[in-house]
Amino acid sequence: MTPRPGHYDVEASPEDRKGTRQQPPGIKGRISHFTWSNFACTMSTGAIAVVLSQQPFTFDGLNVIGKIFFILDLVLLLAFMATMVTRFVLQPWKFTKSLHYPKEALFFGSFWVSIALVLTCTQQYGVPSCGPWLVKALEVCFWLYAACALLVAIFQYCTLFVAEQMPVSSAMPAWVFPVYPFLVIGPLAAVLIPSQPQSSALPIFVGGVLLQGLGWTVAMFMYSIYVIRLMSNELPPPSTRPGMFISVGPAGYTSAGLVALGNQAPNVIPQDFLSLPNFDVGAAIKVLGVMSGIFVWLVAFWFFALSLVAVLTGVRKMSFTLNWWAFIFPNAGMILAAIQIGMVLNSTGIKAVTSGMTILLVVAWLFTAGSHIVAVVRKQIWWQGRDEDDGMEDQISSGLKSLVHDSH
């Protein structure tokens, strides 16, 4: 029976995927299967650089290591962008299709999260060495990024709601990716604020809270669907289970954003804010933000524990997919939140734990990066029937057949 167009199992394992068209030969064939999911690599690399820049315990050379990851992230981001442009030049029809074909379109947000992490690293590593022009440029980029992220969240979800069908039985945390850019806006705003003048810092503070709220609220909707799926259906195929770690990110980055923004509040909020001249609004917001962030953090750890158990139960059956990068970037949010909590509580124990977690995160990045390279060489990815664009040609063919049938 021919599947109905627009209805997808978005978690099919690489072993189950089979292409229907002959792959173009050589490098063109590899590029034709380079999907938005690859930007999970730049998300993870940028997240490592951000985590290293906020370590509570430092040593000589740590800043250099962070800068190396930042530069590597920039190089990878530019290379991946060039590859995506080449792909769409070679196959123009894939551009619009890639933005609403669910297997691939859901990861479009990973490109925008990568941009946010680059902005964060630019503040952390670039501003101390540059003039005030960069501070102003980052302010402009923050608002441009917020506008682009809002457009992506609105139009991509509208497209998925109207044109596609994704059964609840295949729900995965990746469904939150269209609003994932908002989940890193709070931490980004908190990093930018200290170097901004008061006239710019307060709008960025309010904007950070506002936009983080959208990301967290939509994530809670998706959490509900995801938990229902886990309660009523079996776990995803082993090779895609690392993608379960994506569920750690919304709570982790929201916790980090709330604590970091709350900690900045006394320095940003004016005395007469909200027409309360005799009340220390900044101190009250700090208490609220920090306690809210602590309240949310354990949600991230709970999803981390669930995902870890699921991965361990199927580890012997796993083969590399781009979902493996979810070992890094969502867990980086949980670690950033723990760092912020340790700093604001001045807890040596929490700070020490976060240092250990950072070491494990870097090891996970090295392992995943090596596995990624091996997978490319062995044609496990960027190959016919092995990537998130698998089935895209089938949908086009099925749609054309339906049009021809209807016309008769």
DSSP string for residues in 106-137: TTHHHHHHHHHHHHHHIIIIIGGGS-HHHHHH
Tens of pLDDT, residue by residue over 179-236, are: 999 999 999 999 999 999 999 999 999 999 999 999 999 999 999 999 999 998 888 8
pLDDT at 19: 43
Class of domain 14-389: mainly alpha
Q: What is the pLDDT of residue 97?
A: 86
Amino acid at 134: L
The residue behind tokens 């806006």 is 185
Helix, strand, coil content of the chain in percent (nearest 5): 80, 0, 20
Question: What percentage of the chain has pLDDT greater than the value 70?
Answer: 88
* Interval 299-309: pLDDT, tens: 999 999 999 99
Mean per-residue pLDDT of the chain: 87
Would you tell me the crossing angle of helices 248-268 and 198-232 to the nearest 10 degrees?
160
pLDDT at 7: 46
Mean pLDDT value of segment 87-115 = 89
Q: Which residue has the higher pLDDT, 297 or 10?
A: 297
Over residues 142-148, the mean pLDDT reads 96
User: Distance (Å, rounded) from C-alpha 212 to C-alpha 265?
Assistant: 16
pLDDT tens readout for residues 264-298: 999 999 888 888 888 889 999 999 999 999 999 99
- Which DSSP helix (H) or strand (E) runs through 357? helix 348-377
Residue 372 has pLDDT above 50, yes or no: yes
Domain boundaries, the chain: 14-389
**pLDDT value for 171:** 86
Tell me the pLDDT band of 394, cut-offs 50, 70 and 90.
Answer: low
The overall pTM is greater than 0.75:
yes
pLDDT of 16 higher than 90? no
Residue 23 main-chain phi, psi, to 5 deg: -75, 135
* Residue 314: partners with Cβ closer than 8 Å, 6 or more residues away: 235, 237, 238, 241
Query: 249 pLDDT band (50/70/90 cuts)?
Result: very high
| pLDDT score of 406 more than 90 | no
